[in-house]
Amino acid sequence: MQHSFTPEPVVCRDLFDGEEDLYQIPRYQRPYSWEESHIEQLVEDLYESWSEDRDSPYYLGSVILVKEDGDDRFDILDGQQRLTTLTIFYAIFNDHFKEYLSDKNKRRVRGRVKERALEKPRLRTNKQVDLEESVLETLQLDQDNRYTKAAGILIDELEDKFDDQTENLNDFFEFVDQQIELISITSDDLTHAVRLFQTINTRGKDLTVSDLTKSYLLSNLEDKEDKDDVIEVWQEITTKVDDDYDTLDDILGMYRLYLRQQKAKQTTYEELKSEFEGDNPKSIVVDIRDFVTSYKEIENSSSQDIFILENLKHELYWKTILIAAKKKDIEYIDKLRDELIGFYYSYWMGDYTSEKIKIPSIKILSKLRDGDSFEEIQKYMEDKRQRDNIPERVRDGLHSENVYGNESWHKSLLIAVEYNRSTSQTLERISKSGGGLHIEHVLPKKYEKAMDRYDYWENHFTKEEASRLKNTLGNLVPLQYDLNSSAAQKPFPDKAEIYRGESDKPRSSFSTTLRIAEETPYTDWTPEAIQENKEFLIGKAAEILNLPEGSIKQEDEEDLIEA
């Protein structure tokens, strides 16, 4: 069957004027998501164009619309962000800036927001109540939704631009209404429209993987019921990720690795499309949904191992492996998680780049999908670590005199030790980002100032010892940020009181910090105490990395109190 499509240049008023100019955003499309920067840039561009030459058109892009038999509205396949923003633009002129419009433009703008004869809003979205009640009917900027936020930004930007020239707002409205051009492409068939969408958006426009994947699946279906089935499952998928399309794009990147089990040679979308070729789109979308379900189960498991893995740099690899194990219902998944912690952390701490972990990660994934036993996978990982001299490289990192300055893994390791020592039945994530967690130098990082201020530090360390020991592993503990600022350069007995909560601050929640504040060996903080704490942490690191403790201790360990 031959399907028609009509591309034509239009100005805004052409899209918001006739009885048939009614639109809806299909439920499988992403929600309105323009941020403040997008809206500010649009207003800046429009204002600049209006200021320089208000008789010349400004090109805003293209929209792809599809209306199949029996539909009373056009589905917006591409351009929903632009059309939604334009709708909100008209709404604020119909309400907030109405007094600045001519009588003719007051009548026009009412018709842009709502079709006069049918009394129907021009645009229907997947959050229609929010749009109608707080923007289209009357502006209620105290309501908290994405449309009122956009309306507020538009109002602020226009008031800023026209602060001393409000008489020009009517002219600016006419410029937007009659000089802003778009290319409107309409089709009478969704499959055909989707193919147009793909052709346009894979030629230079940076579209998301999820958008392109969804459109590809729909473009390979002719039957309307089949399309509806795929749309319904896709809606389940987006609901599972709370309409977070960045996360969905990340998951599809993992899905590509899961399917191909090889290094990427093209874009994620191109490789997915290659894998999908010849398969039933309904089967594909169900498999993606199952993969996303397994992803969410991994993410929501609230296990110690997952929390430790989350602080790694290699999310693409370890998550894909665990999702594959969950999807295949592998019985040894708990043991596999523990092995993956040791494997990935040891390569990170061994100062290997992420590139070094690609091939073994793909090998582990392939062995898992081929049905290899846990013992076979474990042996592969152990043999690989030995070939890459992991114990020696990890040992060098742990004993570095500048763990704090040179080693990006020090915070993640200390958090992992916290999880490792936890006996709580209910674990909470320890976030290593943000201001809540600080890595405390027990011997102050600015030791010279501390020595000048307090005799304690001068009595317990020479300047040479302090310089050599301040950034070593044994001198670092995790601490809440407000406690860190309170402890600062104080003598160790005062710091220990702060760690224990014997001041006006709450007790530290970190067991490794309380250990040095409460246990007998640490009545004072000395070079010997730093050495003892380092040995303790190295022992814990050995457990986490699944390495023999002896393999990561220094040979003929030097006594750190010697220069």
pLDDT tens per residue across span 335-351: 999 999 999 999 999 99
Mind listing the pLDDT tens digit for each residue in 265-307?
Answer: 888 988 999 999 999 999 999 999 999 999 999 988 878 899 9
Confidence band, pLDDT 50/70/90 cuts, at residue 554 = confident
pLDDT reported for residue 481: 63
Q: Does the pLDDT value for residue 41 go beyond 60?
A: yes
Q: Does the pLDDT value for residue 561 go beyond 50?
A: no
**Helices marked H in 350-490 — which ranges?**
354-369, 374-387, 390-398, 403-406, 410-421, 447-453, 455-460, 463-469, 481-487
Residues 6+ apart with CB under 8 A from 160: none
Same structural domain for residues 227 and 171? no
User: Does 184 map to a domain?
Assistant: yes
Q: Average pLDDT over the chain, rounded to whole?
A: 88
User: What is the arithmetic mean of pLDDT over 170-192?
Assistant: 87
Last residue of a domain, one of 201, 232, 251: 201
User: Does 442 map to a domain?
Assistant: yes
CA distance 385 to 554: 18
Q: Does the pLDDT value for residue 192 go beyond 80?
A: no
pLDDT reported for residue 435: 52
Sign of CA dihedral 139, 141, 144, 147: positive
Angle at the Cα of 478 from the Cα atoms of 475 and 484, rounded to 5 degrees: 90
pLDDT reported for residue 54: 78
Same structural domain for residues 234 and 156? no
Q: Does the pLDDT value for residue 257 go beyond 50?
A: yes
Mind listing the pLDDT tens digit for each residue in 82-127?
Answer: 999 999 999 999 999 999 999 999 999 999 999 888 889 999 998 8
pLDDT reported for residue 313: 78
User: Does 248 map to a domain?
Assistant: yes
User: Does 217 map to a domain?
Assistant: no
Angle at the Cα of 515 from the Cα atoms of 512 and 518, rounded to 5 degrees: 150
Question: How many domains is the chain partitioned into structurally?
Answer: 3
User: Does 561 map to a domain?
Assistant: no
Mind listing the pLDDT tens digit for each residue in 441-468?
Answer: 999 999 999 999 999 999 999 999 999 9
Confidence band, pLDDT 50/70/90 cuts, at residue 399 = very high
Same structural domain for residues 129 and 235? no
The 3-state DSSP class for residue 135 equals helix
User: Does 562 map to a domain?
Assistant: no
Same structural domain for residues 98 and 159? yes
User: What is the arithmetic mean of pLDDT over 395-424?
Assistant: 90
Last residue of a domain, one of 169, 201, 233: 201
pLDDT reported for residue 183: 87
Same structural domain for residues 385 and 409? no
Same structural domain for residues 260 and 340? yes
Percent of the chain exceeding pLDDT 90 equals: 61
- What is the dihedral angle through the alpha carbons of 449, 452, 458, 459, rounded to the nearest 10 degrees? -140
Q: Does the pLDDT value for residue 190 go beyond 90?
A: no
Same structural domain for residues 250 and 141? no
> Cβ(438)–Cβ(482) under 8 Å?
no
Same structural domain for residues 416 and 543? yes
Would you state the structure tokens that stand for residue 408, as one six-digit string?
Answer: 């990006």
> Cβ(77)–Cβ(65) under 8 Å?
yes
Q: What are phi and psi of 7, to 5 degrees?
A: -90, 135
Confidence band, pLDDT 50/70/90 cuts, at residue 400 = very high
User: What is the arithmetic mean of pLDDT over 303-316?
Assistant: 89
Same structural domain for residues 351 and 408? no
Same structural domain for residues 518 and 372? no
Same structural domain for residues 385 and 259? yes
Instruction: Tell me which of 192 and 99 has the higher pLDDT.
Output: 99
pLDDT reported for residue 43: 94
Same structural domain for residues 305 and 381? yes
Instruction: Tell me which of 523 and 475 has the higher pLDDT.
Output: 475
Residue-number span of the structural domain to which 292 is assigned: 223-390
Three-state secondary structure readout of 389-418:
CHHHHHHHHHCCCCHHHHCCCHHHHHHHHH
User: Does 19 map to a domain?
Assistant: yes
Last residue of a domain, one of 168, 201, 234: 201
Residues listed for the chain: 563
**Angle at which helices 245-260 and 315-327 pack, to 10 degrees?**
70
User: Does 150 map to a domain?
Assistant: yes
| Residue 182 Cα distances to 6, 7, 87, 250, angstroms | 13, 10, 15, 32
